[in-house]
Amino acid sequence: MFKQVVGQSLPKEMLKTAIQTGKLSHAYIFHGKKGVGKTTLALEFAKAILCENHTACGNCPSCKQFYSTSDVKIIESEKSIPVETVRELTSEIFLKPFHFPRKIYLIKDADKMTVQAQNALLKVFEEPPSYAIIILITSNLSALLPTILSRGTEVRFPPLTPKELKEYFKNNKLNIPSDEILSRANGSVTEALLLSQSDDSAKIGESVGQAILSFLEKKTTASMLKLYQDFLTYQEQKEQLFDLFYSFVYDTTITDPTLKKHPNQNGSVSLSLATASNIYRALSQLVKRTASNADYGLTVLTFLIEVRNHLMEERNF
């Protein structure tokens, strides 16, 4: 049971026992930092409670109905969870379940509930209908009222070990971050993902930055095609590439006409203001066209050819 969740043997054991002995609480508070499996385990737990085999088997009619039944509700919100949302819950929860013997509510980021909302929830916490189970999920326990905390069964989720993090990425067929990132991620999948993204973008900056500089400097077909290749490789990060291109042109433009060379570290390249503004114009066209579903490869190639023409004109000065 609960194989989808990596690590977390204590919470798993505790919830498994509750299901097997039938000693379920009406209110649970799942807490621990972001990215350690709270929501996944909450869903599996809810599924196992309703499962005909009590295991979240995934095959029985109950498991198959899990995501479509009105007896399971997931409440989440980008911003704060207002009292109106909780009032809706508190009036609805007293209507008997429709398909199942139980009705289960999951409140994600429960700390986003306003104080008013928490007070409204407290009324159900004090006298819940016998069939109801509410699971609050939070990474910020201190934002919940003590009165709420005292009425819920706390389930604490510790950070994952680097080994468990690795297992998570492997199980979900995601690129496995380096060991260095896994150990810096503070036991959180979310942090590991963020770290590997910023690692990727540092890599892109370095490799594509070289290609842009070489193109601006050499203006050759070969350097243009190399850059074209990079634009294709990193298509998913195109906004970052466009920003990078912009900043390279900006950094190599001579704004002071009395200077012959740009006084920066990229001293080997210097563009006149006229060329730079032509390139900016082409770049803003590129941004617009790639945003409007135009053929990405063709649009980028057209852009690079246009930029190269502007660079060649400059050479003739």
Q: Which residues bind Zn ion (CB under 5 A)?
A: 51, 57, 60, 63
Instruction: Kindly tell me which of 51 and 244 has the beta carbon lying closer to Zn ion.
Output: 51
Instruction: Kindly tell me which of 55 and 290 has the beta carbon lying closer to Zn ion.
Output: 55
CA–CA separation, 53 vs 61, rounded Å? 10
CA–CA separation, 81 vs 95, rounded Å? 22
Q: What is the DSSP code string of 184-210? A: HSTT-HHHHHHHHHHHHHHHHHHHHHH
Instruction: Kindly tell me which of 60 and 122 has the beta carbon lying closer to Zn ion.
Output: 60
Question: Which SS3 state, helix, strand or coil, does residue 101 take?
Answer: coil
Question: Which SS3 state, helix, strand or coil, does residue 122 take?
Answer: helix
Q: How far is the CB of 60 from Zn ion (least distance, A)?
A: 3
Q: How far is the CB of 2 from Zn ion (least distance, A)?
A: 13
Q: Where are the alpha helices (DSSP H) in the chain?
A: 9-21, 38-50, 61-65, 83-92, 115-126, 146-149, 162-171, 179-184, 189-218, 221-233, 238-251, 273-291, 296-315
Phi, psi (deg, nearest 5) at residue 241: -65, -45
Q: How far is the CB of 103 from Zn ion (least distance, A)?
A: 17
| Most distant CA pair in the chain, distance | 86
Instruction: Kindly tell me which of 60 and 294 has the beta carbon lying closer to Zn ion.
Output: 60
C-beta separation of 160 from 187 below 8 A = yes
Q: How far is the CB of 38 from Zn ion (least distance, A)?
A: 22
Separation of CA 262 from chain center: 40
Instruction: Kindly tell me which of 14 and 19 has the beta carbon lying closer to Zn ion.
Output: 19
Instruction: Kindly tell me which of 54 and 73 has the beta carbon lying closer to Zn ion.
Output: 54
Q: Which amino acid is at 57?
A: C
In whole angstroms, how large is the CA radius of gyration of the chain? 28
Instruction: Kindly tell me which of 63 and 165 has the beta carbon lying closer to Zn ion.
Output: 63
> Which DSSP category does 303 fall into?
H
Q: How far is the CB of 22 from Zn ion (least distance, A)?
A: 17
The neighbour count for residue 110, using CB atoms within 10 Å, is 28
Token pair listed for 181: 């990132």
> Which DSSP category does 158 fall into?
P
Q: How far is the CB of 5 from Zn ion (least distance, A)?
A: 17
Instruction: Kindly tell me which of 57 and 254 has the beta carbon lying closer to Zn ion.
Output: 57
Instruction: Kindly tell me which of 50 and 249 has the beta carbon lying closer to Zn ion.
Output: 50
Per DSSP bridges, beta strands 27-31 and 153-156 are: parallel
Q: How far is the CB of 58 from Zn ion (least distance, A)?
A: 6
Q: How far is the CB of 288 from Zn ion (least distance, A)?
A: 51
Q: How far is the CB of 11 from Zn ion (least distance, A)?
A: 20
